[in-house]
Amino acid sequence: MNDSRIEQLLNLAGGQENIRLVQHDDVNTTTLTLLNRKGLNLSLPVVSNLDADIRITGDQCYITLEDEFSQLYHMLQVMGVRKAEGDALPETRRTRKKSLLYFISDVFRPLMPAILGVAVLKIVLAIITLFNVYSSTDSSSLMDSQTFLIFKSIGDNVYYLLPILVAVSTAYRLKSNVYVAAAIGGLMFYPQMTALLSGEEDVHFMGVPIVSQALFFSASIWVILTIYAASYLERVVERISPRAFKGILAPLLTFLILVPLVLMILGPLGTWIDQQLPDVVDSLLNDVPIVAIMLLGAVYSLMMIAGLHYWLVPVMINELMVNGFSLIIPVMLVAFVAQAGASLATGLRSNQREFRKLAFWATGTALLGTPEPAMYAVNMRKRASFYSALLGGAAGGLYFGLLSVKAVALGGSGSLLDIPLFMEAGSLNLLHVCVGLVISFCVSGVFTYWMIGKERKHA
């Protein structure tokens, strides 16, 4: 929180003397209550810059801002703006009506230190692996060493446990039972469930088919929606349960009814996707490959959110076995680069130092194969950023489709370090890859920067 932002906030509030009290809550927001709502200066262009949520109720005016590290709250207290003793403020902040994208971003924000930390570790390990592959000396002992494998496990562990972390963060945001949420998030890790969904046999639950794709059930969007439903059920049940059953009946009904219900809904959905998606993708690639690659470039990020991208892996392998190359593998790379471009532009437009730092780090990790920080923590906070990233993926995908850009080996990380996979003797395939990535990065970045600026002018 820099001095210029404090000054902008005070101007918006009508001066320090117009602030009656300041409060910070456990949802990481700071709320200012004004003495005189007429002192509020809405003509300032800084309203959108500050991302302020303004509520006027009668003679009272409240200004709510995100303040994850409590810097704004503490600085205002140092300046002498304090909550008066015994001065109660009922319902000082408004629950902002946020889109699903914004809520998902809120869920992922607290997870970013862990995700960014292991992302950097995975990038270092990927660079070591790349040097090992193209090194003239035989260093396979390093790759097979227990030390390297342990470091690799450390890097993969956070992503392996991501459904549990997402469930806990969602429950914290919704003020529901985090331990029940963790149990729901970890369901697909239970050995018996893992063995059951291994694909060796058809699985049915109460007569309903369950797709043999555990990773689909563990996708972030399904975990978040399940915990949201569980939190609603918990509030309703706790309100009507007898005192002897409080704290017990809600988890019981969640495990007994809600979780099986979710499985019975997602099971047929996953089964239908398992039957239809590969055939649809194959048909589009055969009939209209340019349109197919463009569409996949646009929606690949959405497929990641819903866990649908796992169904593309067998299609990629089949492409390599039948044709000797893959048209889908480049789509992953162009989608990640588009997220990086939007993240960079969002960071450049932001006046919040901590968010800007997060956006810049997220840009780097997205370029090197880890798009989650850019996609979840940065771009989803503003629809302009996220939609621009999808547009950038479509633009790059269109170029790849027109030039028939292909990967000649299976890498799968979607990183710029995978560029050697596109080297093909006697062709300009590698050059077209570079051009397509630049197009994707620039389109998403330019549109993000322009649209955010346009939103501020009309705010």
pLDDT digits (tens, 9 = 90+) for 65-117: 766 555 666 777 777 665 544 443 444 444 445 678 888 988 998 899 999 99
Distances (CA, A) of 440 to 34, 48, 185: 45, 27, 34
- Residues 334 and 374 occupy one common structural domain: yes
* Structure token pair of residue 302: 């959405």
Q: Does residue 317 sit within a domain? A: no
Q: Does residue 289 sit within a domain? A: no
Q: Where residue 197 falls among pLDDT bands split at 50, 70, 90? A: confident
pLDDT of residue 227: 94
pLDDT of residue 6: 75
- Residues 90 and 9 occupy one common structural domain: yes
Distances (CA, A) of 91 to 57, 219, 458: 11, 34, 29
- Residues 122 and 243 occupy one common structural domain: yes
pLDDT of residue 90: 42
Q: Does residue 279 sit within a domain? A: no
- Residues 117 and 261 occupy one common structural domain: yes
Number of residues in the chain: 459
* Whether the Cβ atoms of residue 73 and residue 30 lie closer than 8 Å to each other: yes
Segment 249-295, tens digit of pLDDT = 989 999 999 999 998 898 888 888 888 888 899 899 888 999 999 99
SS3 of 100, please? helix
DSSP notation for 151-198? HHHHHHHHHHTHHHHHHHHHHHHHTS-HHHHHHHHTGGGSHHHHHHTS
pLDDT of residue 371: 92
- Residues 392 and 334 occupy one common structural domain: yes
- Residues 362 and 403 occupy one common structural domain: yes
Give the residue, 271 or 336, on which the prediction is more confident: 336
pLDDT of residue 92: 40
Maximum average pLDDT range among 264-268, 336-340, 425-429: 336-340
- Which whole number is the average pLDDT over 125-132? 80
**Is the pLDDT score of 433 beyond 90?**
yes
pLDDT of residue 293: 95
Residue 7 identity:
E
pLDDT of residue 27: 54
Residue range(s) defining the domain that contains residue 37: 3-96
Q: Does residue 228 sit within a domain? A: yes
Q: Does residue 306 sit within a domain? A: no
Residue ending a domain, choose from 96, 130, 164:
96
- Residues 348 and 411 occupy one common structural domain: yes
What whole-number distance in Å separates Cα of residue 41 and Cα of residue 15? 10
96: left (phi over 0), alpha (psi -120 to 50) or beta: beta
- The domain tally of the chain equals 3
- Mean per-residue pLDDT of the chain: 83
Least confident of 37-46, 82-91, 125-134, 437-446: 82-91
What whole-number distance in Å separates Cα of residue 106 and Cα of residue 110? 8
pLDDT of residue 354: 82
- Residues 52 and 161 occupy one common structural domain: no
Q: Does residue 312 sit within a domain? A: no
Q: Does residue 203 sit within a domain? A: yes
Among 387, 337, 377, which residue's Cα sits nearest to residue 357? 377
Give the residue, 371 or 85, on which the prediction is more confident: 371
CATH number of the domain enclosing 20: 3.30.1360.60
- Residues 64 and 171 occupy one common structural domain: no
Count CB-CB contacts under 10 A for residue 437: 25
- pTM score over 0.85: no
Segment 439-449, tens digit of pLDDT = 999 999 999 99
Segment 163-194, tens digit of pLDDT = 999 999 999 888 889 999 999 999 888 888 88
**Is the pLDDT score of 126 beyond 80?**
yes
Name the residue with tokens 């819903």. 306
- Which whole number is the average pLDDT over 128-133? 76
What whole-number distance in Å separates Cα of residue 189 and Cα of residue 201? 18
Give the residue, 139 or 416, on which the prediction is more confident: 416
**Is the pLDDT score of 384 beyond 80?**
yes
What whole-number distance in Å separates Cα of residue 410 and Cα of residue 412? 6
pLDDT of residue 149: 87
Write down the H helix ranges in 288-374: 289-306, 312-323, 329-349, 353-367, 372
* Structure token pair of residue 155: 């890097």
Distances (CA, A) of 155 to 171, 315, 428: 25, 27, 35
Residue ending a domain, choose from 238, 255, 274:
274
Name the residue with tokens 């080297």. 423
Percentage above 90 pLDDT, the chain: 33
Residue 444 identity:
S
Q: Where residue 363 falls among pLDDT bands split at 50, 70, 90? A: very high
- Residues 86 and 128 occupy one common structural domain: no
Any bridge partners for residue 208, and if so which? Answer: 205
Least confident of 34-43, 161-170, 334-343: 34-43
- Residues 333 and 201 occupy one common structural domain: no
- Residues 252 and 166 occupy one common structural domain: yes
Give the residue, 205 or 431, on which the prediction is more confident: 431
Q: Does residue 297 sit within a domain? A: no
Task: Give me the phi and psi of 205, to 5 degrees please.
Answer: -125, 110
What whole-number distance in Å separates Cα of residue 216 and Cα of residue 230? 19
Segment 211-260, tens digit of pLDDT = 877 788 889 999 999 999 999 999 889 888 888 888 889 899 999 999 99
Residue ending a domain, choose from 96, 125, 146:
96
- Which whole number is the average pLDDT over 333-351? 93
pLDDT of residue 81: 67
